[in-house]
Structure 1
């Protein structure tokens, strides 16, 4: 067995080429740990048993802080709504509507981030998108079981209507020459505000999960500082919605 649930246990870089060849099944679904090692960018090079970052050198060898050699698959949901004033009217900025999105504050670097995460073994990326949002942004939801069920039913509808925003290599400070992040980014937009109505008043209903410090609504702005490439992903949503940014 060469991998744990959340990461590969083999140290490939410091082994001789003969000892690392074919140790991990790259460019394919790895049945041994139920993990998809294919890349959205197509087939990537394997040199002496070690995968090479298809986007080029990063200045760091090994897998660094990432769990897997080669592509590390992630899912990043961008849950949005129109920003409204006290009267419930959508707010305009230079002739375009302003939107908000749900963000978390990461525990590791204290930066605002999308509530996404890594795909677990045996999990597909679409399941990851929903699971990470519920885990990080909604925490345990609320304690009222009847209220919780109504919100889950509404969220289910919203998640069935998501739109693909980005698919591919993610610019991330953890990327190395031999391990890199790839992600699917979906926008789940509540155009009328009905689905996300329970969270309408500031952060009511939002509850940070155990792995994050806080969760909040953020107004989308061009001067935002977000984790990794997340500001770029939010800009893509602004373009799709023809919204202010």
Structure 2
């Protein structure tokens, strides 16, 4: 679940709560402003400058990982409520589907988890990313892992842990991220080499969440807060085995 407590009061978060003075911050980057989109659409984004230019909301809602509604204007509303932000800093309006492969090797105190250092915000994170148009989540899990770490687990069958909203730093009231997370379990660590959007790829101790966060802090880094719930769920699944 997303956390907007520092931006939006809890009693105003729900879309049904009246808030006529609500003035969210526009987080649209320059390359996604209407004038810029009229000249050139980035390869990772759709060309609709506003949600009313999107023609297939019914299909998008039907395929959504997390259900959402449209407002009176036909604009998509973040399923978790107001975010304090408007505009778009993601590829698509509405839900942006992602895939997050959680790779854990070993058992007990020897258990390790594979994380990358994200190039955009410089924190340790799961080596995942957006599902490409026409791509399935299972295919995206394998592709993102291979692209960012060089690890190919196409012959492994993961445990699908579920789908959930991700508290992504780019989200807004009208564009957000929902992820399919999957757990890959290996007997031992394998060679991982950072590439694509990753600055580094590291195997961290993961016998517990506390041990993981301590190891990341000792390395002078920080864990991507949005991925903490996904990793916690993966470790809990293993602890129940």
TM-score scaled to structure 2, two decimals? Answer: 0.71
Bigger-Rg structure (1/2): 1
Which one of 167, 176, 181 corresponds to residue 185 of structure 1? 181
Moved more, 39-48 or 173-182: 39-48
Which one of 65, 72, 78 corresponds to residue 53 of structure 1? 78
Which residue is equivalent to 1:131? 143
Partner Cα separation in structure 1 for residue 168 and residue 68 of structure 2? 20
Partner Cα separation in structure 2 for residue 163 and residue 41 of structure 1? 19
Which residue is equivalent to 2:209? 222
Which residue is equivalent to 1:148? none
Superposed CA RMSD in Å reads: 2.5
Aligned-pair distance for 1:38? 3.0
Aligned-pair distance for 1:46? 4.0
Which residue is equivalent to 2:69? 44
Residue aligned with 1:102, SS: strand
CA contact (8 A) 2:209 2:235 kept: no
Indicate whether 1:156 and 2:194 are aligned: no
Change (3 A) 1:81 1:108: same
How many residue pairs end up in the alignment?
191
Which residue is equivalent to 2:87? 62
TM-score scaled to structure 1, two decimals? Answer: 0.70
Which residue is equivalent to 2:195? 209
Which residue is equivalent to 1:238? 235
Aligned-pair distance for 1:4? 6.0
Q: Which runs of 5+ in 2 are unaligned?
A: 1-37, 214-221
Which residue is equivalent to 1:6? 44
Structure 1 or 2: larger helix share? 2
Indicate whether 1:74 and 2:74 are aligned: no
Residue aligned with 1:157, SS: coil
CA contact (8 A) 1:114 1:230 kept: yes
CA contact (8 A) 2:105 2:112 kept: yes
CA contact (8 A) 2:67 2:79 kept: no
